[in-house]
Amino acid sequence: MKPWKTINSTTLVNDAWLTLSADTCQLPNGQIIEPYYVLHESDWVHVFAQADDGRILTVKQFRYGVKKVCIELPGGVIDEGEAPLVAAQRELLEETGYSATHWQSLGAMYANPARQTNTIHLFFATGLRLKGEQQLDVSEDIEFDFLAIPEIQQKIEFNEFSQALHIASFYRGRHALTLNTNK
């Protein structure tokens, strides 16, 4: 399979949160697509954090885009120059006040490779300990809770745990639990 060729790229938006470009692309068959919009964002982390009793640490927050409260895994944006593991550790602590003694990378996946350039890095965290209060950003209002895996699956079914990327991370984390149990 041959890649597309970028003929031209025009930046439409460039700020602290994202860059949006309108590209002129040539397909391998010679056809031109114009404009083809590409969203450039920082990479993200998700944390599948399991308590000693087996429950999973989740966060609940209002999501402006859909104007609804969503249940998700802890996570967020990787700061410039920050390693994914460091970002995962920081986000877990900031959003929940918890730290973890054991961390395992569960790999990475793309948010939407058709139009976005960023990657989501997933980490499995155990040995959770409450270290202090949440340290939320000005735009964050986050509640956290520990939920059993069947509870999360039920919340997925009822569209309460509804963000597709977090659902994918949840199932990758649940699969890792199965692999770790069978060792």
CB 36 within 8 A of CB 12: no
- In this predicted structure, what is the pLDDT of residue 58? 97
| CA–CA dist 178, 183 (Å, integer) | 9
Query: Is it the case that residue 130 has pLDDT exceeding 90?
Result: yes
User: What gap in Å lies between CA 75 and CA 142, rounded to an integer?
Assistant: 12
pLDDT at 32: 98
pLDDT higher than 90, residue 179? no
| pLDDT recorded at residue 182 | 63
Q: Note the residue count of the chain.
A: 183
Mean pLDDT lowest for which of 98-107, 127-136, 158-167? Answer: 127-136
* Burial (CB count within 10 angstroms: exposed 0-12, middle 13-18, buried 19+), residue 122: buried
The pTM of the full predicted model, rounded to 2 decimals, is 0.92
pLDDT of residue 133: 85
| Pairing label, strands 44-49, 119-130 | parallel
Res 174 pLDDT > 90? yes
CB 96 within 8 A of CB 57: yes
Q: Please identify which residue in the block is written with the tokens 């964050």.
A: 140
State residue 159's pLDDT score.
93
Distance of CA 51 to the CA centre of its chain: 20
Task: Decide if 93 contacts 131 (C-beta within 8 A).
Answer: yes
Give 1's DSSP letter.
-
The amino acid at residue 90 is: R
Q: For residues 74-91, give the mean pLDDT.
A: 96
Q: Phi and psi dihedrals of 170, rounded to 5?
A: -60, -50
